[in-house]
Amino acid sequence: MIRFIFVQNRQGKTRLEKWYGSYGDQEKQKLKAEVHRTVASRDQKHQSNFVEFHNNRIVYRRYAGLFFCFCIDTNDNELAYLEAIHLFVEVLDAYHGNVCELDLVFNFYLVYAVLDEMILAGEIQETSRSVILSRLEHLNNLE
Amino acid sequence: MKGLTVFIADLRKCRSHEDEEKRVNKELANIRTKFKEPSINGYNRKKYVCKLLYMSLLGYEVNFGHREAVELVDSTKYSEKQVGYLAVSLLMEDESEYLRAVVRALRRDMHDGSEWIVCLALNAISNIGSREMAEVLTSDIVVQLLSPAASMFIKKKAALCLLRLVRRFPEAVKAHQWVGRITPYLGHRDIGVTQSVASLMTALAQQYPEETRKAASFAVRRLKSLVIDNEYTLDYVYYKVPAPWLQIKLLRLLQYYPAPESSEARSTLLSILRHIIDVSQDVPRELQQMNAQYSILFEAINLGIHLDIDQGLMQECAVLLGRFITSRETNVRYLGLETMSHLAAYIDRLDSIKAYQGVIVQSLRDRDISVRRRALDLLYSMCDVENAKAIVSELLRHMAMADVALREEMALKVAILTEKFATEYGWYVDVMMRLVSLAGDHMGDEVWHRIVQVILGNEELQVYACKISLQTLKAPVCHESAFKVSAYVLGEFGHLIANAADSAPIDQLKALQSKMSSTSHSARAVALTTVGKFINLFPEIKTLCLRVLDRYRGALDAELQQRACEYYALGTLEGDELLPTVFEEMPPFPERQSALMSRLLKREANTEDQRTWVVGGREINRERRGVMSGAASNDSREAVEASAMPVPAASQTGGPAGGSTAAPKADAPAASSASELPTDPSVAKSMRNYARLLWENDGILFDGEEIQVGVMAQYKPPGGRIGVFLGNRATAPLYNISITARAADGTQLDIQPAAGQETEQIPESLMPLAQARVFFDVQCKHVFGAAPTLHIGYTVAGSAPTVSELQLPVTVGHFMDPVTISVADFFARWKQLGDSGIAESQHVLPSAFLTKDAAGLEWLRSVVGGMGFALIQGADPEPNNIVGVGIATTQAGRFGCLVRVEPKPAHGLTRVTLRATNAEVARSIGSNIKMVFESK
């Protein structure tokens, strides 16, 4: 199960945070900082996309200046979530038309809606790009 | 929303944090005034709530706007409702007073005519997922999932909503009532729906292995259609790979079931696995495709290892994995090592893995710490008597260079392997002493405690251990943990080497003293005890020992001072009885699971779905598998933890003086709870079923090979109606069926077939998988003690008739209704009933399963609530305690009953006290609660 999802920039600013477990406010701040430290310091070229994080694992991928991080259980399939990140980025990209960091900042409330069409309760809900995108378009046109 | 965009842009322009804070405070003040205006419209409300959300995400405290969020939820406009639910999920705590209003709104929206409104509600439930939602909304969600009219989007969301609630509140959702109807959805043609249902089923498979048995065959069929028959729509092809995530989910789901029994199903499964492996032989160029393909391949290998039905396939997997661990792709190396650990956990002969030992050792030096960790796990798992020495010495060699983050784990693993595979005593002592010297700073006390335990328990080790200890103390540098072990060992067994060269008592004392001044307080405390023991062992150096103690009598540290004073007094005491008694040799520690193991296992405990294997080789995994297939899966983890309590002995305070009394205490509750459980598993199981029905109205009463009996009850005290369901689980029809019930005493309880129902309604024969049902009406005439019996008779073709006699869960407690009274009234009644003293029942029950976390207490609350007590909040000063009130109604009169439950997780005990206006009521309900505890 996914415990949380962060999108952070290289300076460690969190642009998206989605929690699927219950965490206290202080704990959340601490985890965000810790994930950034853990992930940003890793060698992108020679190291894997997986790193141990407390009793869980972080699966992450960097797109331009943004780190997309999923925190998952140690018995989850790492590659499946690594590709889920890619799918998420593809959907965001198509939805915003070449997504950039500022899109996530100004439309933060819509990003949650996108996520809710792909992942729910910490598990993957829908994996078809076209199904997700046409659904989002439909919802966008609602009053 | 232009205003929002402007606001965000404003904040981004702020040069300093102070500027930003100023802007935020200004906006907060502005929003507060706007919210007070009665004329605020929906658009503005949405805009301001969004601004609040943004500020909250930046880390500013936002403690208002909840009411406005609820108002948005009540809006009819989609976009406003959407923001409303988002705000509720981001801003509100579980205890928020507004959540009740949200639950009301959700209930309404769940039945809205617009499909997207229902979807919004489902999103919100899975994002918030409070207990009340689980209690109030579960049945609505199940209806949506099963409804043929519901859209694919609703179904997907409903399934994952249920998953969230099942995981958080397993008691509240009563999954056994609907799990059977969900299973067929694994065969749903829509891949998104199957994906979501498969996640739900994976969680249910762990809680209800029996009820979900059919899920396995559905999963196999679905996999076959995807992998072999190529039945999928193009929408779901991800970089040329068909529905990779669904394939993975199904392959994973199957790992929670044993290998199928029919040879046909086995060969289908094998051909699926073979197909997946064959496809992966050519490595695609594109990264996404490669990842997708490998993700399926690794999961298929995991399933292959789990099934363990084809040796050829296993060998092939081993070869594949061997290739992966030398791959140039770091991700692949990582996964190769991890999956090989899984293989090592089950494979019979480790030879195929040992062939790669050199490569694996090399991986301890990989550039990526993640890979290094997996290499360590694998070395640990593949270790056996044959290669233990080589692996341990490699690990020790790496210890000095290893990352700080990895050293503790490495030390634990070395300690466990050395103990497990030691064939020579010298080797064990040498390795462990080197280990504590090398890694002492990075490991917990468990390691040195364990060494002392092992030495104390093995006489053959003791002389050699003494020699090494003395050497260690004499060495120029001596690590603190090594010092503790050495001091402890010499204090116990120093006399064994006293006649050897340079090992005279005076040498031992001098060696100890030479290092003592440079160690920490806790180490010095251990050393003081050793000095005390020396007085007893070596009377010839008594004066010297007393001099050392004397010096510490003025120590600033209270522990040191106390020890020095007490030992000094003992040493100077007249008479020679007390000293030898106090300083007698420590007895060997009782055999118990090593604290090292539990520490290691704790690192793996935190997964939502249970692990199907753990790092650490065959033995531990075989053991786990045995436990898992035997009992409900949740228990196994608790069992492991319970048996692996930390070492409570002398080592905690650092000396033998304080410890010996602690050990038996910590053991007592665990031992007594184990001895009271019935040993026959089937008896235990039916007792569990019966006990469950003491606080839940519906459920399975009996689960046999031929029949299954379920009960559904509805009470309107003093009456009630009990439905009894008989299911045929045999492969042949059942004939001559009879279902009758009899009360122990007809004058107290009346039980009759329900009015209007004739015995003819029981069918002549019952086909396999079919179900018959009978209803009984009960009337509670007076307080009664014994439950009625249920007789079920039937014949299976060709064999003698069978009659099963079961206890029907109908007790006086079932005729109780909750009554809410004020806290003051409760105490007045409690005292009044207590003073009379006749109608009280009290039990102190072992409850090791109630840990400190909230889940155990939640369970306890639902048990007490389920028994018909109204829980009185805030009555007890101790928040974990539960008090409740109920009234039992019989035709002869009504009897009030008060309960107080005081769980003490630290002691593994719970006290349950009942006071009632009738002694039999208190006794009967008390024994019900006792039974629920004993069968938990």
Q: Which one is predicted more confidently, A63 or B685?
A: A63
Query: Does ipTM surpass 0.85 in this model?
Result: yes
Q: What is the pLDDT of residue B850?
A: 77
Task: Select from A14, A29, A131 the Cβ nearest to the Cβ of B235.
Answer: A131
The terminus-to-terminus CA distance of chain A in angstroms comes to 34
Torsions phi, psi for B718 (to 5 deg): -85, 10
Which residue from B257, B266, B240, B157 is spatially nearest to B206, judged by alpha carbons? B257
A139 interfaces chain B, CB cutoff of 8 Å: yes
**Cβ within 8 Å, pair B123-A120:** yes
Tell me, what CATH number does A13's domain have?
Answer: 3.30.450.60
Residue pair B523/B480 in contact (Cβ under 8 Å)? The answer is: yes
Q: HSE-up of B390 (CA within 13 Å, CB side)? A: 12
What does the pLDDT read at residue B665? 29
Q: Chain A: residue nearest B84 by CA?
A: A109
Residue of chain A whose Cα is closest to the Cα of B330: A48
Among the listed residues B717, B740, B715, B737, the one whose alpha carbon sits nearest the alpha carbon of residue B728: B737
CB atoms within 10 A of CB B68: 21
Q: Does A122 sit within 8 Å of B608, measured CB to CB?
A: yes
Most A CBs within 10 Å: which of B330, B604, B614, as the mutation test of the A interface? Answer: B330
Query: Do the chains contact at B371 and A48, CB–CB below 8 Å?
Result: yes
Report the residue of chain B nearest A85, measured CA to CA: B288
Tell if the CB–CB gap between A77 and B295 is shorter than 8 Å.
Answer: yes
- Note the pLDDT tens digit of each residue in A70-126: 999 999 999 999 999 999 999 999 999 989 999 999 999 999 999 999 999 999 999
Phi and psi for A8 in degrees, rounded to 5? -130, 150
pLDDT tens-digit series, residues B466-518: 999 999 999 998 889 999 999 999 999 999 999 998 999 999 999 999 999 88
Residues of A in contact with B333 (CB under 8 A): 48
Q: Residue B706's pLDDT band (boundaries 50, 70, 90)?
A: confident
Q: Which helix (H) or strand (E) holds B216?
A: helix B215-227
> B317 to chain A, minimum CA–CA distance in Å?
18
B161 neighbourhood in chain A, CB within 8 Å: 120-121
Contact B78 A142 (CB under 8 A): yes
Q: Topology of B683-810 in CATH?
A: Immunoglobulin-like (2.60.40)
Residue B679 has pLDDT above 70, yes or no: no
Q: Does A41 lie at the interface with B, CB-CB under 8 angstroms? A: no
A121 → closest Cβ in B164, B295, B331: B164
Q: With cut-offs at 50, 70 and 90, classify the pLDDT of residue B653.
A: very low
Contact residues on chain B for A87, CB-CB shorter than 8 A: 238
B48 is in an annotated binding site: yes
B236 chain-A contacts, CB cut-off 8 A: 127-128
Say yes or no to pLDDT of B602 above 80.
no
Q: Mark yes or no for CB contact A22/B94 under 8 Å.
A: yes
Is B370 in Cβ contact with A47 (below 8 Å)?
Answer: yes
**CB contact (8 A) between residue B199 and residue A47:** no
Find the helix or strand (DSSP H, E) in which A17 lies. strand A14-19
Query: Quick check: B303 pLDDT over 60?
Result: yes
| Residue B253 zone, left/alpha/beta (φ > 0; ψ -120 to 50; rest) | alpha
pTM of model > 0.90: no
Distance of CA B852 to the CA centre of its chain: 12
Residues forming a β-bridge with B878: none
In contact, B733 and B797? CB cutoff 8 Å = yes
Chain B residues with CB under 8 Å of A123 CB are: 160, 163, 196, 199
For B294, which residue in chain A has the nearest alpha carbon? A79
Could you tell me if A29 lies within 8 Å of chain B, comparing CB atoms?
yes
Share of chain B above pLDDT 70, in %: 91
Question: According to the model, what pLDDT value does residue B671 have?
Answer: 31
Probe site for chain B from A83, A91, A106, A132 (most B CB atoms < 10 A): A83
Average pLDDT over residues B840-852: 80
Pick the more confident residue, B109 or B598: B109
Identify all chain B residues contacting A129, using CB atoms and an 8 Å cutoff: 235
Instruction: Determine which of B55, B157, B608, B611 to mutate to test the interface with A (most A C-beta atoms within 10 Å).
Output: B608
Question: How far off is chain A from B479, nearest CA to CA, in Å?
Answer: 28
Contact B199 A124 (CB under 8 A): yes
B408 vs B596: CA distance, rounded Å: 11
pLDDT at B663 over 80: no
> CB–CB of B599/B444 below 8 Å?
yes
Domain of A76 in residue numbering reads as 2-140
d(CA B494, CA B319): 53
Give the nearest partner residue to A116 out of B123, B196, B199, using CB atoms: B123
The reply to whether B49 sits in an annotated binding site is yes
pLDDT at B267 over 50: yes
Q: Do A80 and B248 touch (CB under 8 A)?
A: yes
Give the mean pLDDT of B730-745. 84
Asked if A143 and B77 come within 8 Å (Cβ–Cβ), the reply is yes
Of the listed ranges B221-230, B663-672, B738-747, the least confidently predicted one is B663-672
Q: Which residues of B touch A38 (CB under 8 A)?
A: none
The answer to whether residue A36 neighbours chain B at the CB level (below 8 Å) is no
Of A48, A87, A121, the CB nearest to B370: A48
Q: How far apart are CA B152 and CA B93, in angstroms?
A: 31
For chain A, positions 94-133, list CB contacts with chain B under 8 A. Answer: 105-106, 108-109, 112-113, 116, 120-131
B722 or B632, higher pLDDT: B722
The per-residue pLDDT for B833 is 81
B687 contacts B927 by C-beta, under 8 angstroms: no
Determine the average pLDDT of the residues in B543-558.
93
In chain B, what residues touch A86 (CB-CB under 8 Å)?
288
User: For B653-713, what is the HEC assignment?
Assistant: CCCHHHHCCHHHHHHHHHHHHHHHCCCCHHHHHHHHHHHHCCCCCEEEEEECCCEEEEEEE
Residue A120: list chain B partners with CB under 8 A.
123, 126-127, 156-157, 160-161, 164, 196
The percentage of residues in chain A with a pLDDT greater than 90, rounded to a whole number, is 88
B484 appears as a binding residue in the annotation: no
Inform me whether the pLDDT recorded for B821 exceeds 60.
Answer: yes
Chain B residue at shortest CA distance from A77: B295
The stretch B385-390 carries a mean pLDDT of 92
Q: How many CB pairs under 8 A join A and B?
A: 168
Domain map (residue ranges) of chain B: 683-810, 813-934
Task: Classify burial at B632, counting beta carbons within 10 Å of its beta carbon; exposed 0-12, middle 13-18, buried 19 or more.
Answer: middle
Task: Give chain B's mean pLDDT.
Answer: 86
Cβ neighbours of B59 in A, within 8 Å: 29
Give the whole-angstrom CA distance, residue B858 versus residue B130: 13
DSSP state of B586: P
Whether residues B59 and A105 touch (CB distance < 8 A) is answered with no
Q: How many domains is chain A built from?
A: 1
Cβ contacts of A116 on chain B, cutoff 8 Å: 123, 127
Q: Token match 């045929």: residue? A: B728
> Chain B contacts of A47, Cβ < 8 Å?
330, 367-368, 370
Would you list the DSSP string of B218-282?
HHHHHHHHHHTS----GGGEETTEE-HHHHHHHHHHGGGSPPPSSHHHHHHHHHHHHHHHHHTTS
B43 annotated to a ligand binding site: yes
Superfamily of domain B813-934: TATA-Binding Protein (3.30.310.10)
Contact call for B295 and A120, based on CB within 8 A: no
Of A47, A76, A142, the CB nearest to B116: A142
Mean pLDDT of B233-239: 95
Looking at the predicted structure, is the pLDDT value of residue B672 above 50? no
Mapped onto helix, strand or coil, the DSSP state of residue B797 is coil
Q: Is A63 helix (H, G, I), strand (E, B) or coil?
A: strand
